[in-house]
A and B are shown apart, each in its own frame.
Chain A
């Protein structure tokens, strides 16, 4: 049965499908990156400039997206806020990858109790979500961008360990690794030369997906006041500040809300697209 159906499945013609997730996700992420870079050189106004005369202005030619309760320009704040979002995401994902990838590879390569120990510790860490960790860090060290980044990063480690471990275990079963082990190569060179290069695609996908989660966590933390402190603009805090004007100026919530949702959507799509790109067979499975 399977023999007869083999060629029917996905391999028809072998042509690569157009990958809309990758395209749209990549575009959104690139757009945010460009906006963040541009904000270093130019924003319509100083994002922190308070203008008591122009408070709560509606969108107009002078202020495209209007102003907030202090008269600060919304668009400028959004632009500068994208820096916070990207910075926190980058550092958090970096922390998670730098710790999680080696741990994952280690757990994949060692049998017995050491691997078991890593996985148990990993499961335990899952009981401490990013928000909880960040609040704890905030309680101890005082909330800041750093506590947010580190907390999100630590909370993201388990997902990296899991994904890299299962990918690494597959690599360990391949014949070239068996051959290398049979030839007496030490574990460390095998990890560097064989396992790591073969899980790079997994790392990329996981980084993109984790980035989306980090953006969500950062927004939630800023919303609660446990993220980047004022006056540095951040999308989550803009949303929080908008809450008292839900009746009078709902747009104050809509713009930063949209920014957060679009950013998360972008990174999620990018992750999905990358997954399809690396492993087209799985396109229907995600």
Chain B
């Protein structure tokens, strides 16, 4: 990784940019890289994501978990300003070092941030690359757009090096269709990391991949962000992945953040009933804490969360989980207040681990 260090010293502008202490309002210990306040995403009159608050500290790795339809991908696209037509976002998204809110910013300003301070890896690698362009050119373009490489030749050399770093050697002149899904996802990762972003957002980057290559891609993501001191916002429905790579986790359901906190705390001591159900259904503990090699594989039925996720925008008022929650009472028709603070908290009237119900 020594070449990595070289690279970072050769591009000092970014580093200075990112740690500029301009953002005073979100300063607790160090200023957060990303601060999202009251992010609400809607299509016409339907709210798909409501009032999401989240912050990611410098170099911090945060997981965002939830079932499909919980609004986690939309949250990511909302942060990037890449929502589909007709879908609108309100609230506030601030990046440290950027002197304007990303919500409501014009394309010109947003495009300077995207792929530079803020980068993203998408879920579907098979379609994420331009089929008519060589992959090195697609990686090089990311640097040319932001002028982090002055000309085509050096950009291409840097691209080849970036591809090396994600263990794609000697295929710079290939076209996407000549690569496997895992290889393509690594190209997308190389593009995302090209300008040493302050924050990398990964939206289920391994879901579409074979199990055998998932671990490799995860490893490369982790190495990529640690080498650059980039923060990571990792979106997934896979609790085991969050447990391995994230420090903090946010649980989303029905377009809302229902619980957040350090991974260990949330996973060992869930407070929101949805988190509790999710953990029970995923058998994470059995997999994690079962003594290795001592007993037969434990054969028991996983508990499931009853009912199904409502269609987007059709969650109940009050607590979004109350239609599926075994502990729900009348009080749940009122929106549960946030208990705790930004780093550790939940929104539930009948939290687990308390002595009621």
A interface, CB within 8 angstroms of B: 1-8, 12
Contacts and interface: CB of A to CB of B under 8 A. Distances in A.
Given A8-B43, A8-B48, A8-B312, A1 B69 contact: no
A176 to B, nearest CB: 27
A8 B84 contact: yes
Given A12-B43, A12-B44, A4 B69 contact: yes
A6 B48 CA distance: 12
Nearest to A5: B84
Q: Is the interface of B mostly helix, strand, loop or mixed?
A: loop
Contacts of A6: 69, 312
B204 A1 contact: yes
A3 B69 contact: yes
A12 B70 CA distance: 17
10 closest A-B pairs by beta carbon, nearest first, are A3-B68, A4-B73, A1-B123, A7-B312, A1-B73, A8-B43, A7-B311, A4-B74, A1-B203, A4-B69
Query: Which among A2, A7, A8 has the greatest number of chain B C-beta atoms within 10 A?
Result: A8
Contacts of A4: 68-74, 312
Given A12-B43, A12-B44, A5 B313 contact: no
Interface of B: 43-44, 46, 48, 68-74, 77, 84, 86-87, 122-124, 203-204, 311-313
B85 to A, nearest CB: 10
B141 to A, nearest CB: 22
Contacts of B313: 7
Contacts of B69: 3-4, 6-7
Query: Which among A3, A4, A6, A12 has the greatest number of chain B C-beta atoms within 10 A?
Result: A4
A267 B204 CA distance: 47
Nearest to B67: A3
A215 B72 CA distance: 53
Given A4-B312, A8-B43, A12-B44, 16 more contacts: A1-B73, A1-B122, A1-B123, A1-B204, A2-B123, A4-B68, A4-B71, A4-B73, A4-B74, A5-B73, A5-B74, A6-B312, A7-B312, A8-B86, A8-B87, A8-B312
A2 B124 contact: yes
A4 B43 CA distance: 13
